[in-house]
Each structure stands twice: as structure tokens, then as C-alpha cells.
A and B are shown apart, each in its own frame.
Chain A
Amino acid sequence: KAGVTQTPRYLIKTRGQQVTLSCSPISGHRSVSWYQQTPGQGLQFLFEYFSETQRNKGNFPGRFSGRQFSNSRSEMNVSTLELGDSALYLCATKTAGGGTDTQYFGPGTRLTVL
């Protein structure tokens, strides 16, 4: 089975721009979660989507948004980029709604904001 795929792997943007990141889950996985990892704040939960609905949300401003498509692929969008948005963005997927399912992480998208 193919693993979790994230595109692009690296991205450079300038302040004020917006960016869209993509996550393709393992086949059969319907839950997709997004995380931000920075040296200053560590690993932080952004949001989780299940069956095209946002199920949970972390403590991030409204500039961070996401969506999930009927094939379970997910995108996250960051508008009006700030320098502090430079981070590794990870997505993780799991099979179904149950909280006990194991999450599998993608390799991440490294975003640099100049």
C-alpha cells in the first residue's frame, strides 16, 4: 500500500501570499489531520477532517483553513502568510472515525515564508 503523500515537499512564499498544501491519504483512510511543526512552538494540531467534515480544530487563526474531498484527499490553505508561518506541515491519516485507530504521517511540506 502506498503511504501518505504530501505535495509539494518544499515551498517558498513571500509575506502576504497564500498557499495551498495537499495530502493524499493511504487507500481506505477517511480521516486526515494536519499539524504544524516549528522550532519555537513544537508540534501543534491544526484540524482534522473526516468524511468531508471538519471534526476537530486546534487553536489557530482563521487564516488557516482546510477541506476534504469525497476521495478523502485533503488540502489546507494559509492566507496572508506571515514569517511565523514558516514551518513543516504534516498530515496524518487513519482509517475510520474511531479515535483508537493508528495514525500514519506523511513526509511533510516544508514552507518557508520570506
Chain B
Amino acid sequence: AQSVTQPDIHITVSEGASLELRCNYSYGATPYLFWYVQSPGQGLQLLLKYFSGDTLVQGIKGFEAEFKRSQSSFNLRKPSVHWSDAAEYFCAVGRASGGSYIPTFGRGTSLIVHP
């Protein structure tokens, strides 16, 4: 069975600073990998996804993530954080099934942005 670990429950950064959110997964085959953001009043939104190909994935809102198979990691990065990035971030791994996938989510990392 697949699993996802987000080691940091909370992360605090200053506005304008760089950001890296960690995600480690456990899965026997090539995984589908995702990062989602959840803000109050905004619902859950897909930031980026990896299925195959280039291991550096660009997403929306200036985010990117890098798939490192040797480390079983899919860390999310942003070079300069904005106050509006304060939210809950979820990493997920998908197991291919039935022409789609079954996702398993991490417990989330809460991002706090100081002015």
C-alpha cells in the first residue's frame, strides 16, 4: 500500500523568502504525485502533478516540485513567498487503478507567512 509523509506540520517563513515543503512517499512502482493547496474559503486546488517524464514539474502560482526517485521525495518549492500563500499544503501519491488512480494524502503542512 502507498503512503505519504509530510514531516513538517507547520512551517513559518517571512514574505519574500524562499520555501521548500517536504514530501516523502512509499510506493512500489512509479508513482503519480501531486501537491494541493487548501485555503479557507478557496477549497482544495491542484498546484501541480507528476505522472512521468521531466522530474522537475512547474505548477500554478509560481510553485515547482522535483521528483527524486532515489530519495522517494517530491518536495515543493517556491523562490519567493507571498502573504497569500499562507494555507494548508497536501502532498499525495496515486496508485494507478481502473484507468485512473487511487490517491493517498499526507497529513498536510500548514504554511504561515510573516510580513
Which residues of chain A have a CB within 8 Å of any CB of chain B? 31, 42-45, 48, 50, 55-56, 58, 90, 92, 97-100, 102-108
Residues of B within 8 A of A102 (CB): 46, 49
- Residues of chain B within 8 A of A103, CB atoms compared: 46
Q: How far is A95 from B58 in the complex, measured between Cα atoms in Å? A: 21
- B115, CB-defined interface residue at 8 Å: no
Give the secondary structure class of B's interface: strand
Contact yes or no, B105 A99, CB < 8 A? no
Knowing A90-B44, A107-B43, say if A44 contacts B105 (CB, 8 Å).
yes
In the complex, how many angstroms separate the beta carbon of B94 from the nearest chain A beta carbon? Answer: 7
Residues 81-115 of chain B, each 1 if its beta carbon lies under 8 Å from chain A, else 0: 00000000010101011111111111110000000
Q: Which residue of B lies closest to A101 (CB)?
A: B100
Once the chains are docked, how many angstroms separate the CA of A105 from the CA of B28?
A: 28
User: What would 29 A/B residue contacts be, using CB atoms closer than 8 Å?
Assistant: A42-B105, A42-B106, A42-B107, A42-B108, A43-B90, A43-B105, A43-B108, A50-B99, A55-B97, A55-B100, A56-B100, A56-B101, A56-B102, A90-B43, A92-B44, A97-B100, A98-B100, A99-B32, A99-B51, A99-B96, A99-B99, A100-B49, A100-B51, A102-B46, A105-B44, A105-B45, A106-B43, A107-B43, A108-B43
Give Cα distance in the complex from A79 to B49, angstroms. 34
Q: Which residues of A contact B43 (CB under 8 A)?
A: 90, 105-108
Of listed B90, B92, B101, B106, residue having the most chain A CB within 10 A: B101
Say yes or no: B99 contacts A97, CB within 8 Å: yes
